[in-house]
Amino acid sequence: MSGLWVLVRRDVVLAVRQGGEIGLVVGFFILAVVLFPFGVGPEPEMLRRIGSGIVWVAALLAAVSSLDRLFAADYADGGLDLLALSPLPLELAVLAKCAAHWLTTGLPLTVIAPFLALIVDADPAAIPVLVLGLLIGTPALSLIGAVAAALTLGARRPGVLAALLVLPLYLPPLIFGAGAAEAAATGGGVRAELLLLGAFSLIALVVAPVAAAAAVREALE
Amino acid sequence: MSGPDLVGEGLACRRGERLVFAGLSCRLAAGGALVLTGANGSGKSSLLRLLATLIAPAAGSLRWGEAPLSRDAVEYRAGLHYLGHLDAIKPALTPREILAFWAGLRGGRNPAIGPALDFFGLGAAADWPCRWLSAGQRRRLALARLIAVPAPVWLLDEPLSALDPEGEERLVSAIAAHRAAGGRVALATHQPIALADAATLSLDAFAPARAPAP
């Protein structure tokens, strides 16, 4: 099991050292959110209504933009062969890579989300629920993204292909996450939405490492 | 460290539509060395990947002693050093970090990271980011992985590429020490390498046109 931790730590160190990989994702997230008021007009009423939805959509896009980081470098430099041969089961190696990916994308996105929610003037009551939703839902983005990233290994434009594959699968967390924030703003109950979001993440936690590991094995053949 | 033989019988390998080789048998006993030669595309790398259980043979069987080998041969895989022509080196990490990572992943107790780097002459470069290393130094780093954590089977794909004569000498002595301790090594190369009592296997002899169909 110590191998799991070793791999998480290396991937986080790589993301931190490789000049602003985290910065790129966060910058993409901020820009995407800031673009919306220009597109839909600056009426506070409108922005307040769609604010938390905007933040969720931008978080999904930012997560997608970073998926090629999961396996592509290890595939290109032969490291994936060695990972597959190591005593750490490939499913756990995938899980470790997802954890590192989440620590360097989902977590920073969740941390800055409340500030972006203020920019689009989201309802103050919705902001804690938005953050909680992102905290519960973003691990699923990394996990499902890993399946798409593994399936597109060796493809000519893996990033674009992975985005096409994965965005439809991001619909459930988007619906439940944004729905919970919306319900908080209108004074409704948020429990059901957050529980469904959590259920989705848990299912992804079980299914995604197995599926992604199978896809990686196929890519190494 | 003795232990079982690595045995391949009637192996065939298919890459896509193309049959690369067929009817190939080989045996690698404790302390043994097998040098794979052959033209480009004759399947040296494929045979090494096959022996590493990274790809499955199209025909034939691969055994570790009596036990058949497949992807699920966890114990065999854990005792394997595979050095491909790609070197799995991250430009942002230092040689010391890279060796520590691969050793940590194998769960090796007290990996000999400093001595391994010194042996291949990377002592001075141990804490540089790897983007500063030359091609030969990257090769040396990949080779240092072999001796940082002991493993009974080494599978080396073109280990001599980019190495200077001094590096080659180091590699030959590392292989000799490995074999003296009962280790096995199979390596593919185009350059002559001075290994004592090494069996040579030319893959040209197993090209499908001349070999019986699998």
User: Is B92–A14 a contact, with Cβ atoms under 8 angstroms apart?
Assistant: yes
User: Is B54–A81 a contact, with Cβ atoms under 8 angstroms apart?
Assistant: yes
Q: Tell me which residue range forms the domain holding A101.
A: 2-220
**pLDDT at residue B213 tops 90:** no
User: Is B104–A14 a contact, with Cβ atoms under 8 angstroms apart?
Assistant: no
pTM of the model: 0.90
pLDDT of residue B203: 87
> Chain A residues with CB inside 8 Å of B79's CB?
none
Q: How many interface pairs between A and B have CB atoms less than 8 angstroms apart?
A: 73
- φ/ψ of B157, rounded to 5, equals -100, 110
User: Is A10–B101 a contact, with Cβ atoms under 8 angstroms apart?
Assistant: yes
Q: Which residues of B touch A (CB under 8 A)?
A: 52-56, 71, 74, 77-78, 80, 82, 84-90, 92-93, 97, 101-102, 104-107
Give the C-alpha separation, B60 to B20, whole Å. Answer: 14
**pLDDT at residue B211 tops 60:** no
pLDDT of residue B2: 65
Give the C-alpha separation, B142 to A49, whole Å. Answer: 56
Mean pLDDT, range A24-52, rounded to an integer: 88
**pLDDT at residue B1 tops 70:** no
Helices (H), A41-125: 44-65, 72-76, 79-85, 90-104, 106-119
Specify the residue for token string 């890279």: B98
Specify the residue for token string 């977590």: A107
Give the C-alpha separation, A137 to B104, whole Å. Answer: 31
Say how many domains are in chain A.
1
- Domains of chain B and any CATH numbers: 6-206 (3.40.50.300)
For A20, other C-beta atoms within 10 Å of its C-beta total 12
Q: A125: pLDDT confidence band, cut at 50, 70 and 90?
A: confident
pLDDT tens figures, A151-178: 999 888 888 888 899 999 999 999 999 9
pLDDT of residue A14: 92
- φ/ψ of B172, rounded to 5, equals -60, -40
> Chain A residues with CB inside 8 Å of B97's CB?
10, 13
User: Is B102–A82 a contact, with Cβ atoms under 8 angstroms apart?
Assistant: yes
User: Is B106–A82 a contact, with Cβ atoms under 8 angstroms apart?
Assistant: no
pLDDT tens figures, B76-114: 888 899 998 888 899 999 999 999 999 998 876 778 899
pLDDT tens figures, B107-135: 767 788 999 999 999 989 999 999 999 99
Q: How far is CA B61 from CA B42, B64, B155, B202, in A?
A: 20, 10, 18, 19
pLDDT tens figures, B9-68: 999 998 888 889 998 999 999 999 999 999 888 899 999 999 999 888 999 999 988 888
